[in-house]
Amino acid sequence: MKALKEIVSWIVPIVIGLLVALLIKDFVFQLVRVDGPSMQPNLQNNERVLVFKQTKIRRGSVVVFDANGVDPQATVKTDYVKRVIGKPGDTVSANNGQLYVNGKKVNQDYISSSERSTGTGNWTMASISQANKWQKHLGATKVPKGEYFVLGDHRSVSNDGRYWGFVPKKKIIGVVKVPFWATNKTERSNVNTEWKNFFD
């Protein structure tokens, strides 16, 4: 009996700890690994970041979402990391390396002038939806209700909303925050607080 009590005294805290860890992962935050160069220079391939699941999604927020059902090439659950440019109801366009949301020029100091212009081109959502044959919302002029328009920071290599359209909110896992011990201060700020330089 004494041995059983001792075993239980070890098992119960372990089970509680596992349950707490699972609850935190499902509802609060989780650690994820960045895969690929599409968010350079602000996030690097194989970098570990935190994803907070209850943080408000804003223009300029960097988010993780399940691309399965969003990008036709993602045929299984695949997490993408991108930056939110347009919220529901927004119009988004690009002209000579500048981004415009609802006709207002977006501050893009978080990437270089070459990263802004290389691979960006001149477009509206309607024109890129037709050019890239979006499977949903073909010809859309605004971001639909409950969805977001996202781009990678490294525009010339990023597979993002320009090519397949919008991300439903239900697909977004959470907002990325770079921990204080990772990357340099500028890159950390470009991910964690760049949304403050956008407009609400």
Q: Could you give the CA distance from residue 151 to residue 101 in angstroms, rounded to a whole number? A: 13
Give, in order, the Cα–Cα distances in Å from 11 to each of 14, 18, 19: 5, 11, 12
Active-site residue numbers? 38, 82
Q: Could you give the CA distance from residue 82 to residue 63 in angstroms, rounded to a whole number? A: 6
Angle at CA of residue 188, ends 182 and 192, nearest 5°: 120
Helix (H, G, I), strand (E, B) or coil at 176: strand
Q: Could you give the CA distance from residue 69 to residue 55 in angstroms, rounded to a whole number? A: 23
